[in-house]
Structure 1
């Protein structure tokens, strides 16, 4: 069994592989293991330094000829929804999200498979099994939560719980300065509209309710259409060589 030093993190570099966002580009990543009693503290420091978490691995791009991946975080305490976002909020008022410990369920996996088969059939996660999904959720040494979204019931205002089928799920890390969104998915055929956007808006609302200033969205690539949605949530900060700076793009 491979042993990892839990006190002094060691960093490794992956071999080049094809970039999933930009054609004709190759990507490399630097990564370390998040294990031991200091894992949460290390995860926060690395997330604030532009890393992302996948299971018990923290990684960030280390490409030789490209710097297109930019870490971004929404300034939740200053966020103002656009007119279209307000319409999405109003359209989904019948939904409620409930936060759970990071424990996978068969219902979550069924929704996850439906989402992948509809939206990402040719993606890198398309072959994930139930065991793979379980590892994605529970292989964590940090404060990870699963938020399940369902329709509000007649007693939801008392119990705080939803009812009926699961329509959306978010896997996220709760940190001292905000939420880091690891992965989210939803029913591609749901009557609820723009669920991907609404789940992000819900995290902003949760951060505000707890006095947390940020929601971390991972990487944004300006030339990648699949990343365009992340730039809509303003104000936001981008991690630059000079630290986190307010994004003043269009």
Structure 2
């Protein structure tokens, strides 16, 4: 999308959100005619109009910057590195969540599923993993599904693969990120099958991660935490994946081995 005009990008995101020009115009309190002019380049959107439409289209902050640049404006959202002074408070909050979750596993990831930080509980999930997969940058999904990674120890691998790939597909639909599309194709090339989760069992609440460790099966529920009201790209793309015991046996095993 790097060579597209602002109008092209607006149209792209409108179609991604499955909205007609009339529907978007109604939500954004403008006219379908004006929206058509913006998309075809017959009118140039103001900086305020771009921000307004981007909000209604739920465009990710990174892509809002791209849209602004295409229209001839400076980006609105900074993208500081995680280790810069601007991110001190965010890093502190992130570490507090990770440490506070021990002895259960938790890790922080960016938009591309690169592991930013992890607590000591994650070490349990990494036993037996090929060291090559742990060389930075570490991709959490590759680590999970690679045959030399965690996959060998995941007892419900087809179900877990189905969950991971379905989630990744939803993320691609929201962000349109080429890197995620490439990652999905790589993950699909790994062995292990893929369960169809569109028709869950009547009593199924979530998809657990059933992981064998030291001859015992541990069962986890995963919860994703994101930062509220992010105002820069880095914070918007950070998430914390926390794993909680899905049964009493797992809780007892982990509590006895902090």
> What TM-score do you get using the length of structure 1 for normalisation?
0.28
Q: Which has the higher contact order (CA 8 A, sep 6+)?
A: 1
> What TM-score do you get using the length of structure 2 for normalisation?
0.27
